[in-house]
Structure 1
Amino acid sequence: MPNTLVIIPTYNEIDNLEPIVSRVRANVADAEVLIVDDSSPDGTGALADSLAARDSNVHVLHRSTKNGLGAAYLEGFAWALSRGYYTLVQMDADGSHLPEQLPSLLAASENAEVVMGSRWVTGGHIVNWPWHRRMLSQGGSTYSRFLLHLHQRDVTGGYRVYSANALERMRLSSVESLGYCFQIDMLLHAVRAGLTVVEVPITFVERTHGASKMSGRIVLEAMGRVTMWGLTGQGVARTSGSPAVAGSRRG
């Protein structure tokens, strides 16, 4: 049975894709890779096909439209679950998620159903972010944690590991966010399902090639959705428990 699948969504990542796939394959040799390309006009999809032709552990899923990171991941999850993969990894294509740290996330997944790479626990770091970007990200996590009663510290981070069983229990058909808010929505589903969620400190590195897809409008839209969830009681029940952090003291 196939075991680990690293899902990498792409849109105009032609300069970043080959290096990131190569680093994943070098650091977790038995992991397979699924590139989910949203019809990138820069040729990323054709490059993905070329990588798959050279390496049988690389697969490509072409999507006809670009309708959000969450939609790409959900389609990737469905592809993986239908083929029996046991461990599914979310990873950005731009190099911000270091493949060199994937072994530590996978090690933590042996005792947890959801593992979150975290920038905001002790041992987590950010490289090459301006102060306003740091404040926006940390502020968004803090705001979401408060309104939704989440214990986890980095609720918007996208470097994650899910077991297949976890995804099946999370009722993915009810995940309604497709953009920046997708990560928060997925965490809410995981906590509501009673899954074991741990955070592992990571170093997050700002991209050096290509343009970021992030914008103020996207963040404001996500915070609006979080506000609606909080005001309508769609967060999680308050508990006295503490978040689990693997490889670090609580931040």
Structure 2
Amino acid sequence: MKSESLVIIPTYNEAHNIGRLIEELMALGEPVDVLVIDDGSPDGTAAAVKEAQSQFGERVHLIERSGKLGLGTAYVRGFQYALEKNYTYVCEMDADFSHSPNDVPKLIEEVKQGNADVVIGSRYANGISIINWPLARLILSYSANLYARFITGLPIFDTTAGFKCIHRRVLETISVDKMRSNGYAFQIEIHFRAWRAGFKLKEVSIIFKEREEGVSKMSKGIVWEAIWRVWSLKIQSLVGKL
């Protein structure tokens, strides 16, 4: 039976994680479907998803892309899929277990109860709740969020959070096809567009853990995109072209 909730998981070289992650999501008390968008992983990530499909059937979906097309375009494709298939609650999460599958139901429930239109699994809503990050990375992330909040005015602490649940009406309203950000800037952009469109954002504190397997996708290009993109979003909103 099709769920009303879809969890979108972009992947690149996550074969060590994706099968177990899908199993844990399938075992939740809150029924969810899963959509994996794989960017041509050479390590067999797509094959691991197909194996999960043989076990869980139509609850697990896979979109295979030709190469590394970026996080933002993966989520845009996932949002399009969610709208096409009439899902009501659309979640984002990472494939590397930095986000706990056990937190997914509470994000969905907050949206179901009407407490917010976008509910964010936040690393900074209740102090700093991050495990096993080097100090330099923690300082960079925290500073980047302060910077994004200052420029955009967003009323949330974790502007770059990639763990959230979004009501479909948000995606229908903000025209996800127009989104151009790709790395962490994508998360800032979706929060900003939703907020500027009048939707309510809420943060729920989570424990964020450094990935258990594989290699981080962080790069200097991702950082620089986030730095200039917040100004672009702010200016577009001021001139009415967001």
- Report how many aligned residue pairs link the two structures: 236
Equivalent position to 2:90, from 88, 93, 103: 88
Q: Which has the larger share of helix?
A: 2
Is residue 159 of structure 2 the alignment partner of residue 158 of structure 1?
no
Query: Match of 2:150, as an amino acid?
Result: F
Q: C-alpha separation between the residues in 2 aligned to 1:84 and 1:162?
A: 13
1:79 aligns with 81
Cα displacement (A) at 1:229: 3.7
- CA–CA separation in structure 1 for the residues paired with 2:70 and 2:81: 17
Alignment-derived partner of residue 38 in structure 2 = 37
The equivalent of 1:120 in structure 2 is 124
Task: Report if aligned partners of 2:119, 2:204 keep a CA contact under 8 Å in 1.
Answer: yes
The residue type paired with residue 96 of structure 2 is D
Q: CA deviation at 1:151?
A: 1.2
CA distances 1:187-239 after superposition (whole Å, capped 9, x unpaired): 11101110111110011000021000002332123212223444x363799xx
In the TM superposition, residue 179 of structure 1 has moved relative to its aligned partner by 2.0
Contact in 2 for aligned 1:124/1:201 (Cα 8 Å): no
- Over 3 Å counting, the alpha-carbon distance change for 1:236 and 1:186 in structure 2 is farther
Instruction: Name 1:51's counterpart in structure 2.
Output: 52
Equivalent AA in structure 2 for residue 23 of structure 1: E
Q: Is this contact kept in 2: 1:147–1:235, CA < 8 A?
A: no
| SS at structure 1 position matched to 2:184 | coil
Secondary structure at 2:162 match in 1: coil
Q: What does 1:9-28 correspond to in 2, within 5 Å?
A: 9-28=10-29
- Out of 161, 164, 189, the position equivalent to 1:185 is 189
CA distance in 1, matches of 2:156, 2:238: 13
C-alpha distance in 1, partners of 2:128/2:83?
31
User: 1:199 aligned to 192, 196, 203, which one?
Assistant: 203
Q: Could you list the runs of 5+ residues in structure 2 that have no partner in the other structure?
A: none
Contact (CA 8 Å) 1:52, 1:59: kept in 2 or not?
Answer: yes
SS at match of 1:199: strand
TM superposition shift of 1:42: 0.7
2:30, 2:105 within 8 Å by CA — same for their partners in 1?
Answer: no
Deviation at 1:89, TM superposition (A): 0.5
Q: What is the distance in 1 between the residues matched to 2:178 and 2:238? A: 15
Question: Structure 1 residues 105-114 or 8-17, which shifts more?
Answer: 105-114
TM-score scaled by structure 2?
Answer: 0.92
The whole-number CA distance in structure 2 between the counterparts of 1:176 and 1:66 is 16
Match of 1:99 in 2: 101
Equivalent-residue separation in structure 2 for 1:88 and 1:216 (angstroms): 29
Identity rate, percent:
41
Task: Give the partner amino acid of 2:158.
Answer: D
TM-score, normalised on structure 1? 0.89
Q: Determine if contact 1:114/1:195 at 8 Å carries over to the other structure.
A: yes
Q: What corresponds to 2:143 in structure 1?
A: 139
Show structure 1 runs of 5+ residues with no match.
238-251
Aligned to 1:210: 214
